[in-house]
Amino acid sequence: MSPQRQTKGNAARKSAAEERCPCLEIMDFFRRRLGVSSEVRQHLENSRVEFLKAIRVVLDERIENLSKASQRGTKIAVE
């Protein structure tokens, strides 16, 4: 791999790793606007994991539906 390609690949991985989760953005919003307690912050941090799990389930269900839709029908003998 060329040094230029390697640098671009590293930059892409780095930017993806630095992207903030939507739940974290919401938590920061509440913290800034409402001054949330540590208990609320802990609930929001836990909800972030649950939110991501929910997205995973939605994607798995969609993949399953698309996989079923691509199955071909049965052949019928024509006389």
8 within a domain of the structure (yes/no): no
Residue 39 lies in a domain: yes
Length, in residues, of the chain = 79
Residue 55 lies in a domain: yes
**Residue 46: per-residue pLDDT:** 84
The CA distance from 24 to 18, in Å, is: 12
Whether 76 and 66 have beta carbons less than 8 Å apart is answered as no
In a domain, 4, yes or no: no
Provide the domain limits for residue 44. Answer: 20-68
38 inside domain: yes
Count up the domains in the chain and report the number. 1
Residue 34 inside a domain? The answer is: yes
For residue 60, what pLDDT band results from cuts at 50, 70 and 90?
very high
Confirm whether 28 is domain-assigned.
yes
- Please write the tens of the pLDDT for every residue from 11-38: 555 555 567 777 778 777 877 887 778 8
